[in-house]
Amino acid sequence: MTHIGTVVGRSKSVDDLTSVDDIERDDGKRLSETTAGGPELEKLLRSKDEQIAKLVEKLSTVFECNNQFAVEHEKLQKDYQQAMQNLHTLQGIKAKSCDQCASFETERDQLAKENGDLRNDVKMMKILVYRLNVQIERYQDAIREGTTAKNAIPRLDFVDSTYGGAKDNLNWGPVNSHTLGPLLNAYEETIAEKSDLVQQYESELVGFTGKLKKVLEENESLQQEMETMRAAQAGWTSERTRLQAQVDVLRSKADVQGKRADLAKEKLVEVLKCYEQKVQAQSLDIQRLQEAYSRSKGELATLRNLNHNPELVANSLKECQQYDLTQKATELEQLRNDYQQQLKIFERQKEINEILMGKNAALKQTLERTRQSKEILKQRLKTMITWGKGSEQRKDQLQESWQTIRALQAQLQQRDGQLRSLQQRYQTEVEQLERRLRQREDTLRKILAEKAQFHRQV
């Protein structure tokens, strides 16, 4: 809001300057109409002095507005430094979260290896069970084919066995108690242990699948955030191109205005040189007229003393006076014409200055728009900082966006410097114009005073 108020104040000051220029035009017309009146010229000069004082006051207000802009620029730089500090802290938090993700991935790899080992063990156990079943079928067939009790294989009683243990109380049928009983019991124990391990691994696998689902959900959320970041980056690139195009247009406008100001300055210098040459020529003509007037006075005095015919002397005097009056009238008309031409030239120059002031106001408005866009970019930066818990690709994108923002800030600073230089140039040109106007008024006063003295002498 302070920026808008200062810009409005400056536009008002420009309107006041244009109104003052209109008043100066009216005063110049009045001065051209009343070249012979002494008190009216003094009034006009006083009014011009008052207008110059008003212009000085308005220039002081413009300097105050520039100081306010400098203070606000410092505040914005402080806010930018705070945002950079917050970004560094968020990057540290992001690195810690990435370390945790790496630890989860290592645990997942270890569990996958253990799962593969368990699958290999299950395959081996299936093979062993198949072989045992084949051997058991062979022994059962041999027992069924036995005919005599002597050659018969003794039956195994697991209850009375000397092997002992809870798992010995199994009914394996009529098998050899010395050879196959302990082997079958040992296989049964290993199978029970393996089944316990399998159940344990299944429970661990269930927990791991739950963790894996959580990790996949987090990965999907991160993927969505990455897509949103890419869309935001596309918007940033389009906005950056738009701002770059605006900067190029403003630079071209500034160059054109600088060239126009240089041309106006050259024209002013040429006009002032012509005016000085004309003033010098007019002063030389006045000196010659004064010398001729003094000579004619001397000749008249000599003729009065020498000639005895007063009528001829009177006629010659009248002819000399008429000749002097005609020459003076022609010189006065030439001076008036020159003065009117110079007034027209100065009016054109004032119009050019008004156009330049309007363009300066337009540049100020564009600068205000760029500052507003800068604030919008800062707000978007804050939203981007909230998304700073992504992967390494998000980090790269954030770095690229920061680089673009820094480039935009550098461009804005360059534009601020260019506008300040233009303001300084305009101020120097205004001061030079005021000095030249004062010099012109002084020369006009001198010429009018010399003319008044000449008329009094005549």
pLDDT of residue 229 exceeding 70: yes
Higher-confidence residue: 289 or 73? 73
Contact 360, 426 (CB under 8 A): yes
Q: Which tokens hold the place of 455?
A: 């008329």
pLDDT of residue 432 exceeding 60: yes
pLDDT for the residue 180:
59
Average pLDDT over residues 356-382: 72
**CA–CA dist 99, 94 (Å, integer):** 9
Give the other-Cβ count within 10 Å of 28's Cβ: 20
pLDDT of residue 15 exceeding 60: no
Higher-confidence residue: 84 or 1? 84
Average pLDDT over residues 76-87: 83
Query: CA 171, 172, 175 angle in degrees (round to 5)?
Result: 130
Higher-confidence residue: 166 or 205? 205
Amino acid in the structure at residue 332: L
Contact 142, 180 (CB under 8 A): no
Average pLDDT over residues 16-28: 50
Contact 354, 403 (CB under 8 A): no
Average pLDDT over residues 66-78: 83
Among residues 262, 254, 257, 252, which one has the least CA distance to residue 429? 262
Report residue 415 CA to chain centroid gap: 9
**CA–CA dist 398, 388 (Å, integer):** 8
Average pLDDT over residues 368-379: 73
Average pLDDT over residues 326-351: 76
Among residues 370, 422, 436, which one has the least CA distance to residue 62? 422
pLDDT for the residue 204:
84
CB-based contacts of 292, cutoff 8 Å, min separation 6: none
Higher-confidence residue: 254 or 390? 254
Percent of the chain at pLDDT above 70?
Answer: 70
pLDDT of residue 111 exceeding 60: yes
Average pLDDT over residues 352-378: 73
Give the other-Cβ count within 10 Å of 342's Cβ: 19
Q: What is the pLDDT of residues 268-305, one digit of tens each?
A: 778 777 767 877 877 787 778 778 777 777 776 776 66
pLDDT for the residue 93:
78
pLDDT for the residue 22:
53
pLDDT of residue 423 exceeding 50: yes
Amino acid in the structure at residue 235: G
Helix H, strand E, coil C: the string for 333-352 is HHHHHHHHHHHHHHHHHHHH
Distances (CA, A) of 299 to 305, 310, 319, 324: 10, 14, 14, 15
Higher-confidence residue: 261 or 9? 261
**CA–CA dist 289, 326 (Å, integer):** 12
Helix (H, G, I), strand (E, B) or coil at 389: coil
With 0-12 CB in 10 A as exposed, 13-18 as middle and 19+ as buried, what is 106?
exposed
Q: What does the mean pLDDT of the chain come to?
A: 71
Percent of the chain at pLDDT above 90?
Answer: 0
Amino acid in the structure at residue 172: W
Among residues 277, 280, 265, which one has the least CA distance to residue 436? 265
Q: What is the pLDDT of residues 132-172, one digit of tens each?
A: 777 777 777 777 776 433 444 444 333 333 333 334 444 44
pLDDT of residue 384 exceeding 80: no
pLDDT of residue 57 exceeding 60: yes
pLDDT classification of 309: cutoffs 50, 70, 90: low
For residue 149, what is the DSSP state?
S
Residue ranges per structural domain of the chain: 48-97, 193-307+322-455
pLDDT for the residue 149:
39
pLDDT for the residue 310:
59
pLDDT for the residue 36:
44
